[in-house]
């Protein structure tokens, strides 16, 4: 299969890409895709399995979607892996979730390196267990020079927490005389966020049929296109990502204007 981009450059894609994606569209492939990976627990419960089995199954979807995003030429893939609210879950489930990054990176890191993927993290790492933080820090370190897809994990992340952190940093800068309050504009706030060196998401995908943002990238999603799927995250496949991208490419993004 071949993909014809908006600039008419054509590139080969491994795997089966729906023929509809080969037709030129008005909107290019999204530069940044963010995904709220929802439904792992329900997937397990529907099969009479413990909830943690759903989280492990969800790792397979992470791998498949990461490869698919790379194949499509998406520049940034942000995955909502663990929210600041998820600490409220049962202790055994939290412990399992904190072990998943280590397990995932142990099995997938070599392929990520081979594919020139760069691992990033947004969120507060201070509350993470030492083994979780060590695994993530190592993945970030060994992929730091890679120039391909940015695989950005939102881990111990909350949109409101991020905004509070940014406001606090700006207030401290004003107090110390490093910035004039009148100089604080949208760009100044954006520069104080975890994502200061990343483009805002063009497309947000949420699985499991839920229709809410769940405290995810509240500032960055201001003009993001939203796409919802009834599929539970472990059942999400590369074809579903292709379908979301195809729908995105049909949309007319006007950013509040007429065109």
What torsion do the CA atoms of 193, 128, 79, 59 make, to the nearest 10 degrees?
A: 170
Q: Which two tokens stand for residue 59?
A: 């790792």
247 is annotated as an active-site residue: no
Backbone dihedral angles phi then psi of residue 151, each to the nearest 5 degrees: -95, 105
- Give the active site residue among 86, 146, 191, 215: 86
Tell me the residue ranges of DSSP E strands in the chain: 2-4, 10-12, 32-36, 76-83, 118-122, 150-157, 203-206, 225-228
Cα four-point dihedral sign 81, 86, 92, 93:
negative
- Give the active site residue among 38, 70, 202, 240: 38
Exposed/middle/buried for 186, CB within 10 Å: 0-12, 13-18, 19+?
exposed
Q: Are strands 32-36 and 76-83 parallel, antiparallel or unpaired?
A: parallel
Can you state the angle between helices 238-250 and 51-72, rounded to 10 degrees?
Answer: 50
Q: How far is Cα 80 from Cα 77, in angstroms, rounded to an integer?
A: 10
According to DSSP, the residues that pair with 36 across neighbouring strands are 80, 206
86 is annotated as an active-site residue: yes
Q: Are 30 and 74 in contact (CB under 8 A)?
A: yes
Which residues does the annotation mark as catalytic? Answer: 38, 86
């Amino acid at each position: 299969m071949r993909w014809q981009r908006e600039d008419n450059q054509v590139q080969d894609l491994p795997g089966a890409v729906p023929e509809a994606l080969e037709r030129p569209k008005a909107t290019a492939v999204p530069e940044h895709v963010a995904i709220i990976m929802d439904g792992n627990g329900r997937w397990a419960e529907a099969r009479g399995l413990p909830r943690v089995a759903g989280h492990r199954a969800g790792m397979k979807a992470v791998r498949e979607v990461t490869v698919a995003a790379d194949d499509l030429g998406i520049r940034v893939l942000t995955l909502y892996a663990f929210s600041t609210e998820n600490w409220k879950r049962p202790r055994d489930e939290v412990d399992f979730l904190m072990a998943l990054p280590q397990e995932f990176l142990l099995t997938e890191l070599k392929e990520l390196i081979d594919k020139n993927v760069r691992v990033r993290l947004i969120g507060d790492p201070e509350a993470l267990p030492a083994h979780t933080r060590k695994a993530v820090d190592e993945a970030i370190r060994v992929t730091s020079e890679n120039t391909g897809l940015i695989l950005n994990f939102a881990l111990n992340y909350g949109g409101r927490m991020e905004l509070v952190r940014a406001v606090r940093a700006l207030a401290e800068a004003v107090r110390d005389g490093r910035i004039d309050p009148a100089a604080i504009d949208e760009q100044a706030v954006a520069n104080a966020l975890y994502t200061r060196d990343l483009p805002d998401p063009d497309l947000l995908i949420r699985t499991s049929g839920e229709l809410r943002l769940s405290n995810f990238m509240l500032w960055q999603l201001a003009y993001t296109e939203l796409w919802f799927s009834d599929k539970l995250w472990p059942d999400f496949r590369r074809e579903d990502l292709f379908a979301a991208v195809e729908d995105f490419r049909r949309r007319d993004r006007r950013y509040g204007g007429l065109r």
